[in-house]
Amino acid sequence: MRRATKDKMKKKRTEEKEEIDEYGDIEPYQVDKLSKIPSGLIITFMKFWAAAAAVFFILIGGLDLGIDFSKETTDIYEDYAITIRAIVLVSLFLAILLNYGIKHIAHLMNNRRNNTHKWMVLNLKGFLGFLAYFLYSLVTMTIMFFIVLLFSYYKLVPSFMDNGGIGIEPFSYGLGFILVDGVFLVAKNYIVKLYQYLKYKKQIQMA
């Protein structure tokens, strides 16, 4: 009985130590009920929400930025200018959410048993991280724009001009972003694993 009590107390102390990070501070995520939800699911949902919010506030009218695809124009260059401005503004909004919001939450959830960095394409710090995410958002937004054009060509979704600029609604865009981001994640994680393998192989050869 006494031995069982000691083992129980030892197990409890071990669990408490695992809740302390490498700097000796308590990790808030580890003592929260959300820790039972897979971190990848939480981060993916936050990305989905961020992409949907970016489209809603910039393109649909949450913010009045003067972007109106429904206005008929005969100047093709004006159409290009509106499209480019929309892509840049959505990318800027998305980059802010990814770099200053989701990336930091993912960092809080990261520990030795749960590598949450693998769910983020970029993990750079400071303003450089924001610039990197802005460029990344430009790439993903451009890909999504051409996907919408392709789908609208085959009448799978309304075109930008026929539907006031909403080729797809925010939740569909959020899902599309998750799919595109997932492709980049798979590629990034594969490259990281390949680099680690080659580095380990080189160390073995030098030993």
**pLDDT value of position 133:** 96
* Per-position b or e across 89-102, b if 16+ CB within 10 A of its CB: bbbbbbbbbbbeeb
pTM for the full model?
0.73
Residues of the chain with pLDDT under 50: 15-26, 31, 160-161, 163-166
**pLDDT value of position 96:** 94
Given a contact cutoff of 8 angstroms between Cβ atoms, the answer to whether 133 and 90 are in contact is: no
Q: Give the percent of the chain with pLDDT over 70.
A: 68
**pLDDT value of position 163:** 47
Residue 157: Cβ-neighbour burial (10 angstroms; 0-12, 13-18, 19+):
buried
**pLDDT value of position 121:** 93
Q: What is the pLDDT of residues 8-27, one digit of tens each?
A: 555 555 544 444 444 444 45
In angstroms, what CA-CA distances link 162 with 29, 55, 86, 153, 155?
46, 17, 17, 12, 11
**pLDDT value of position 7:** 56
Average pLDDT along the chain: 77
- Non-local (6+) Cβ contacts of 174 within 8 A are 47, 48, 49, 50, 51, 52, 55
Given a contact cutoff of 8 angstroms between Cβ atoms, the answer to whether 111 and 21 are in contact is: yes
**pLDDT value of position 95:** 95
The letter for the amino acid at 155 is: K
| DSSP string of 77-90, one letter each residue | HHHHHHHHHHHHHH
Q: How many CB atoms lie within 10 A of CB 160?
A: 22
